[in-house]
Amino acid sequence: MNKQRIYVAGHNGMVGSSIIRQLKHNKSSQIITRSRDMLDLTNQNQVRDFFQLERPDQVYLAAARVGGIYANDTFPAEFIYENLMIEANVIHEAWRAGVKKLLFLGSSCIYPKLADQPMQESALLTGLLESTNEPYAIAKISGIKLCESYNRQYGNSDGIDYRSVMPTNLYGPGDNYHPINSHVIPALIRKFHEAKLKKLPSVVIWGSGLARREFLFVDDMAKACIVVMNDISGQYEKCTDSMASHLNVGSGEEFTIKELSVAISKCIGYTGNINFDKAKPDGAPRKLMDSSKMFSMGWRPEIGLAEGLEIAYKNFCETISD
């Protein structure tokens, strides 16, 4: 029996590497990857040549330019340009090469800043976005609409089925622990770790500490991706329609940044004071997603925050010791 050829775009990233770990459990799959120095996904000619050569059966589009509040606010042109180019090139060239199944990974930042909580998929395009990451959010919205547009035009004629999932804030092995350009959990892990080593009496966190966030361990997200990609029960179709095809993927739990900071300091063993700089931005006041449609497909997260932080911190320590 021929193995199913599966291309994971962004395989060195946190989500992509987790998807590969999950796919390796299936011995009937042949995983295809390319490092960034071998394939520039913003270059259409390179992407076209790759797809014409490899012709995968499935594509997981996990490649993206990502970062936290500081990075999004400092490099808006790079965030919107690179993400738009990656999405357009991969989706279009996948279709040209006859790829039938593709899964696009977006972000919870696609929803309006003041969307009703928990945020339902129907909240998309109903209000203004959070200004600090609007360019990135616009790119991710475009990725959803690219999938929907290709389905509408070529779904019946070419038999394609391109789907989208919107993860909440992810963390875990393979995360980016850069002190400035990372997301909140890896940034705080590094901050508290360094404060412990230096025996600092206090740590200062951006914002008021009152903003609320939802978090999901990356391996739970990867499992959700595989469920959505391979669902043949018809449940995905019941949960979506041609103009609203994305699914939220979250834990259903939320924590204030203050609660998160305390949990991370406890995990690391930092015993100093935690202070908040209210002059710095909080971002959206609350971001909790309604993942009931995803839950209806039989998926549930398995790793809670405390356990996930322990695994993430161990990975961070291994990363900095390499």
Kindly report, residue by residue over 115-142, the tens digit of the pLDDT. 999 999 999 999 999 888 899 999 999 9
Contact 109, 137 (CB under 8 A): yes
In the DSSP assignment, the letter for residue 289 is: B
Selection from 169, 180, 172 nearest residue 111 by Cα = 169
Tokens linked to 153: 């035009």
pLDDT per residue as tens digits for the range 47-82: 999 999 999 999 999 999 987 777 788 889 999 999
Query: Per-residue pLDDT for 179 more than 80?
Result: no
Measured CA to CA, the distance from residue 17 to residue 101 in angstroms comes to 19
Selection from 68, 138, 143 nearest residue 105 by Cα = 143
Give the mean model confidence (pLDDT) for residues 258-285.
Answer: 93
Query: Per-residue pLDDT for 198 more than 70?
Result: yes
Give the mean model confidence (pLDDT) for residues 105-113.
Answer: 93
Does the domain at 4-321 match CATH 3.40.50.720? Answer given as yes
Measured CA to CA, the distance from residue 288 to residue 76 in angstroms comes to 24
At 68 the pLDDT is: 72
Lowest mean pLDDT among 52-61, 117-126, 150-159, 281-290: 281-290
Question: Catalytic residue at 150?
Answer: no
Q: How confident is the model at residue 196 (pLDDT cuts 50, 70, 90)?
A: very high
At 102 the pLDDT is: 98
Task: Find the helix or strand (DSSP H, E) in which 73 lies.
Answer: helix 69-74
60, 70, 111, 136: the active-site residue: 136
At 176 the pLDDT is: 87
**182 φ, ψ to 5°?**
-95, 170
Task: Find the helix or strand (DSSP H, E) in which 275 lies.
Answer: strand 273-277
**284 φ, ψ to 5°?**
-60, 140
At 1 the pLDDT is: 58
Write down the domain spans for the chain. Answer: 4-321
Give the mean model confidence (pLDDT) for residues 253-280.
Answer: 96
pTM equals 0.93
Residue 264: how many CB atoms within 10 A of its CB? 25
Query: Per-residue pLDDT for 195 more than 80?
Result: yes
Lowest mean pLDDT among 62-71, 87-96, 291-300: 62-71
101-105 and 169-171 beta bridge pairing:
unpaired
Lowest mean pLDDT among 36-50, 110-124, 129-143, 280-294: 280-294
Positive or negative, the CA dihedral 251, 298, 13, 160 is negative
At 322 the pLDDT is: 59
Q: How confident is the model at residue 273 (pLDDT cuts 50, 70, 90)?
A: very high
Query: Per-residue pLDDT for 262 more than 70?
Result: yes
Q: What is the mean pLDDT of the chain?
A: 94
